[in-house]
Amino acid sequence: MKRKRYFPRPQPAGAVRPFETAEEAWFWFMRAHRARRDGQRFEAGGGMARPCEADDVYLAAVTLVRAGVLKVLHLRTLLEFGARDRPPDARLRDEARPARLWDEALDRMTTVLRRKGILA
């Protein structure tokens, strides 16, 4: 079996700016994911150094699903409205339930992301 090779991750040169909210981090991840899927290079944070890789935000959500803290429906809602690049609107009848799931998911993710230093 081959030995795994580990390479140090380059550290940002400037000051690292954590996200203000879990919603901001989630939309940042979705933009990075969309850019990667389209074959573009994603400049993390728009030239601003962030305290994590984009996938770290997604992995936090998946870890909560595996732990049973979030349901798959929470993750689907995050992915669906993240792809739309807007949160669900609780005032609309069709989006009332997704808005509740969205708020629950981001509330639970906030604790994990703050513990990892991703949120301020």
- The boundaries of the domain holding residue 86 are 22-38+52-115
CB distance 118 to 25 below 8 Å: yes
Looking at the domain assignment, is residue 4 inside a domain? no
Structural domain total, the chain: 1
Looking at the domain assignment, is residue 107 inside a domain? yes
The confidence score (pLDDT) of residue 49 equals 76
pLDDT at 44 over 80: no
Sequence-ordered list of residues with C-beta below 8 angstroms from that of 74, at least 6 positions apart, any chain: 61, 65, 101, 104, 105
Looking at the domain assignment, is residue 11 inside a domain? no
- For 61-88, the pLDDT digits (tens) are 999 999 999 999 999 999 999 999 999 9
Q: Summarize the confidence of residues 39-64 as an average pLDDT.
A: 79
The two structure tokens encoding residue 64: 């909560």
Looking at the domain assignment, is residue 67 inside a domain? yes
CB distance 113 to 119 below 8 Å: yes
The two structure tokens encoding residue 25: 């981090």
Looking at the domain assignment, is residue 81 inside a domain? yes
The confidence score (pLDDT) of residue 13 equals 58
Looking at the domain assignment, is residue 60 inside a domain? yes
Looking at the domain assignment, is residue 120 inside a domain? no
What does pTM read for this prediction? 0.81
